[in-house]
Structure 1
Amino acid sequence: MAYSDSLKPLKTHLAILNLVIIGLILFLFMAPGNLLGHSSIKDINSVSAKIIAKNGASIRDMPSRKGKVIVIAPVNSEIKIIQRKVQSDIIDHKPGSWVKVEYLGKTGYIWEHLID
């Protein structure tokens, strides 16, 4: 009888340990950014923005007005921002930066004042 009584705390600890392990496993599978690098939440660095230029905005192959226009995104189009402040510039006496974006599967650069 004394031997059985001494095992009760051990059984209680094992039951608690099992619950903790099950909880950790559930957390790893349901957590937004699990250990495998998959995420159900958008990457913090990849943010959406909308084109606010009335005539649309040119997305270029390099961060410069000299860059070739890849595609023109119409006003209110949603674009994915890949990187902000790629290169500083002054356009029409207005200082700003070029932003690396993705639109319709194409990656290019857009003047920051054309997006919101």
Structure 2
Amino acid sequence: MCFFDQHRFACGDWKWGHFRQHCAKEYRIGETCGMKLIMQTVPVAQKCRLCEKIDTKERRKQAEVERVHRWGRDGNKFRASIEKSMEAIKGLEYEIQELSYERMRRLQGIGNLSAHA
């Protein structure tokens, strides 16, 4: 039960920070017992890596949607480009969904850690 800082991002996600204090179970210098407890929580104003990736993919998806709408107004002139963009939108939606699931898994784990703080 060694103590570490916890960095909490604006989106609610977190990551472990620097080691702060040994517990009574670990006597070797430079080693930790393996169980991490929170010494202090450090707020971070930015979003986590996963949320940044989700935001980036959302912006790319929105740009593709706007492009398809613009091309759609011109009729059949850009049919192949529209189909290509629709495939890109489907791919982006899948990637966003996978990143969102990963983020939810991490956030479910934070509830268990908060009880120790």
Relative to the length of structure 2, the TM-score reads 0.27
Task: Write 1 or 2 for the structure with the bigger share of helix.
Answer: 2
Higher RCO (CA-CA < 8 Å; seq separation 6+): 2
Structure showing the higher strand proportion among its residues: 1
Bigger CA radius of gyration: 1
